[in-house]
Amino acid sequence: MPVPSYASRLALMFALGLAACGQTSADKPSPPAKVEAIGHETELMRLTLTPEAVQRLGLATQVVSKANGLAMSRTVPGEIVAAPRAGGLPVAAGADLAGLAGSQAQREAEVARSSADLKLAEANLRRASSLVDAEAGSIRARDEATQQVAAARAALAAATAQRQALGASVADLADGGALWVRASVPAADLARVNRAAAVSIRPVGGTASIMARPVRGPATATPGAASVDLYYAPAGRANFRVGERVLVDLADRSAVSAATALDVPASAILTDINGGEWVYVETAPRSYERRRVEVARITAGRAVLARGLDAGAKVVTTGAAELFGTEFGTK
């Protein structure tokens, strides 16, 4: 029997390899997701899932609707402070209460001393006036007594103003006095805030909120944080305490109105590593695309979108994170 040549053996091995590859390709299952570039933005992709993949991920969608008249707002941090009395400054828990109490005691003593000096000066003026009327005293003495009364009144007014500037007594902070909310607004956003509108106040991590009306407070600011303080008076104490941190929803008077804002569940919003906000939109049955959006506010589990989508779009409300992992895990 003739021995096959080297070339014959090589051709036989190549044919067997092709047959094996063809058999493996025929038996390989179809992938659960098809990913293709759509070119709208850098590295955006379109995901087309199989019915089994949709069921396995538990995807759910919802049609984007109008914001149902919800006013546009922006959320800023706030702090509960003790409302000032007679034109003083608000008192917060972050202040040096021991030093403040000492200053208040000194100013109260100054007010008491100035009041006593005024009473003495007024008594001297009455005595000098009586002597002049009885032609037993000099007019110069009466004029000097009049000047002493004027000086005593000026000293009392200055001492009273200094005491008022120190705010409510530290001893009375927990005595059920009036409370204000100091909202720290970024200076760049101050022009967008409707200062005449009422605001909504809610505790950090809470959902229950109360309304507060704007009040005329002192012109305070935090230069290091480039923020300006706005003051509001809550409708009730609502178990707030001085120094408690809250969230303040300020009314926005920007061009984006509630008539054009859209409302989606907060679970549909994804935030990337750079702070960008995205949603997945179902453009066709089992076909999804990632779209950039701008969230105006999130409250009570709902997100109000300022821009990025059109009414009627179907966004993924359950399973958006899984789609995000599918998109970047198959590149």
DSSP state of 29: P
Same domain, yes or no: 247 and 263: no
* Within-domain flag for 2: no
First-to-last CA distance in the chain?
55
Task: Determine the average pLDDT of the residues in 42-57.
Answer: 82
Residue 98 has pLDDT above 50, yes or no: yes
Over range 142-150, report the average pLDDT.
90
Is pLDDT of 70 > 80? Answer: no
Q: What does the pLDDT look like over 247-282, one tens digit per residue?
A: 888 877 764 455 567 888 888 898 888 888 899 999
Residues 242 and 263 in one domain: no
CATH number for position 211: 2.40.30.170
What would the two tokens of residue 197 be?
A: 């509108």
CATH number at residue 55: 2.40.420.20
More confident residue, 247 or 9: 247
pTM score, whole prediction: 0.48
Residue 24 has pLDDT above 80, yes or no: no
- Residues 64 and 79 grouped into a single domain: no
Which alpha helices (DSSP H) does the chain contain, by range? 6-27, 51-57, 97-133, 139-165, 320-329
On whether both 311 and 269 belong to a single domain, the answer is yes
**140 in the same domain as 79:** no
Q: For the segment 167-180, what is each residue's pLDDT rounded down to a tens digit?
A: 666 666 555 567 88
| Mean pLDDT in residue range 287-316 | 83
Say if residue 192 is in the same domain as residue 80: yes
- Between 148 and 171, the more confident residue is 148
The tens digit of pLDDT for each residue in 108-141 reads 888 899 999 999 999 988 888 888 888 887 888 8
> Over the chain, what is the mean pLDDT?
78
Domain around 273: 33-71+257-329
Tell whether 106 and 215 lie within a shared domain.
no
DSSP per-residue codes, 88-132: ---B-TTS-HHHHHHHHHHHHHHHHHHHHHHHHHHHHHHHHHHHH
One domain for residues 211 and 81: yes
Final residue of a structural domain among 233, 251, 269: 251
Assess contact for 264 and 64: CB atoms under 8 A: yes
For 270-301, b where at least 16 C-beta lie within 10 A, e where not — what string? Answer: beeeeeebbbbbbeeeeebbbbebebbbebee
Looking at 251, 275, 306, the residue that finishes a domain is: 251
Q: How far apart are alpha carbons 70 and 261 in whole angstroms?
A: 8
Q: Do 103 and 86 lie in a common domain? A: no
Please check whether residue 10 lies inside any domain of the structure: no
- Sign of the torsion formed by the C-alpha atoms of 65, 70, 72 and 75: negative
**Which of residues 204 and 20 earns the better pLDDT score?**
204
Say yes or no to pLDDT of 40 above 70: no
**Residues contacting residue 328 through CB under 8 Å, at least 6 positions apart:** none
Instruction: Report yes or no on 13 lying in a domain.
Output: no
